[in-house]
Amino acid sequence: MEMAMATAMARSALVKKYLRVGVGVDSSPFNFNAIRCRFFSEEVRTSFKSEVTDRVISVVKNFQKVDPSKVTPNANFQNDLGLDSLDSVEIVMALEEEFGFEIPDKEADKINSINLAVDFIASHPQAK
Amino acid sequence: MAKVVPTRSEVLFLFRSLLRTARQFSDYNIREYTKRRTIDGFRQNRTLSDPDSIASAFSHGKAQLEIAKRQAVVYSLYAPKVKSIMDLKPCNSI
């Protein structure tokens, strides 16, 4: 009887040893994973914007009247690239085709530089 | 009939509407022709300064827009089954 009790206690001690869960090791809110997740989402957002910038620049470079060497992310269509209002309309239409959505006339009239185009397209939920 | 001289934004609106309509044609040749013709027409008339000729060019453009819209619908009713010859499957292989 005593023997059996001792065996049972020894067994339960053994089980408890394995079942014990460490508390307070990884409970810090600023652990590595949380920080990495935040950086990751930040990275995705900025990389989408830089992808939009690249695609906008390549569309503008392909436009036949534009000198490709003059195209920079800050270029203004009329002052830097020497385009007129008809050309700006054509570029906005080409951007619509590239990103697969329709830009309303009101917004399209405002887009007169590569920066504005990138900002508008990157903030638009339908842009692909 | 007194002709009204269009404003700058009205002209740009007509230009954009013509380009948007041009995209609706299913046939590549017609689509590209309409686009090219629109751009060339506006380029050609950009130096007009006489109010009468501006007004008549503008009303001509509006009439062309109506035609393009109507034809886009008509052509879409009679669109060929195969859009491009590239879509055709090769017949019996040689």
Which ranges of chain A have pLDDT less than 70?
A: 1-6, 12-46
pTM above threshold 0.80 = no
pLDDT value for A97: 87
Q: Report CA B27 to chain centroid distance, whole Å.
A: 13
Q: What is the ipTM metric for this complex?
A: 0.76
Size of interface A-B (CB pairs under 8 A): 24
Nearest to B15 by CA among B35, B44, B1, B33: B35
Nearest residue in chain A measured CA to CA from B20: A93
Q: Which residues of B touch A109 (CB under 8 A)?
A: 9, 12
Question: Concatenated DSSP letters for B13-74?
Answer: HHHHHHHHHHTT-SSHHHHHHHHHHHHHHHHHTTT---HHHHHHHHHHHHHHHHHHHHHHHH
Under a CB-based contact definition with an 8 Å cutoff, are residues B31 and A93 in contact? Answer: no
pLDDT tens for residues A66-98?
Answer: 888 888 888 888 888 888 888 889 989 998 888
A54 is annotated as an active-site residue: no
pLDDT value for B87: 74
Which token pair is A60? 């503008």
pLDDT tens for residues B52-75?
Answer: 999 999 999 999 999 999 999 999
